[in-house]
């Protein structure tokens, strides 16, 4: 997960002029740590991860509607 996160950050920094590094880091963390979760045995792990993330990390702020996976980062 850590290597995937580092590669994703490296790629975003190499291909775009990034002004806000915390958003890039947040995007990489969410997708590299929580992106592989799914629903198993009726337990929505991806949704639980999203709720945990929204509860623990206040910046950047996500809308209350949907999960953290419903939003993307526009680097343009």
pLDDT of residue 66: 92
pLDDT of 70 over the 90 cut: yes
Q: Each residue of 28-38: pLDDT tens digit?
A: 999 999 999 99
**14 vs 5: CA distance, rounded Å:** 14
Q: Each residue of 39-67: pLDDT tens digit?
A: 999 999 999 999 999 999 988 889 989 99
Provide the strand spans (E) within 1-76: 39-40, 43-44
Residue 32 belongs to some domain of the structure: yes
> H-helix or E-strand containing 13?
helix 2-15
**Domain that includes residue 6, residue range:** 2-70
Residue 55 belongs to some domain of the structure: yes
Rounded to the nearest 5 degrees, what angle is found at the Cα of 8, between the Cα atoms of 21 and 51?
70
Structurally, the chain folds into a number of domains equal to 1
Residue 57 structure tokens = 């990390």
**33 vs 7: CA distance, rounded Å:** 13
pLDDT of residue 44: 96
Residue 76 belongs to some domain of the structure: no
Question: What is the model's pTM?
Answer: 0.83
Residue 75 belongs to some domain of the structure: no
pLDDT of 72 over the 90 cut: no
């Amino acid at each position: 997960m850590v290597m995937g996160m580092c590669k994703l950050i490296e790629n975003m920094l190499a291909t775009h002029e990034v002004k806000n590094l915390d958003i890039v880091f947040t995007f990489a963390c969410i997708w590299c740590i929580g992106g592989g979760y799914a629903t198993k045995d009726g337990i929505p792990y991806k949704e639980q991860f999203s709720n945990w993330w929204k509860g623990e990390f206040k910046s950047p702020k996500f809308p209350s509607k949907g999960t953290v996976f419903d939003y993307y980062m526009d680097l343009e």
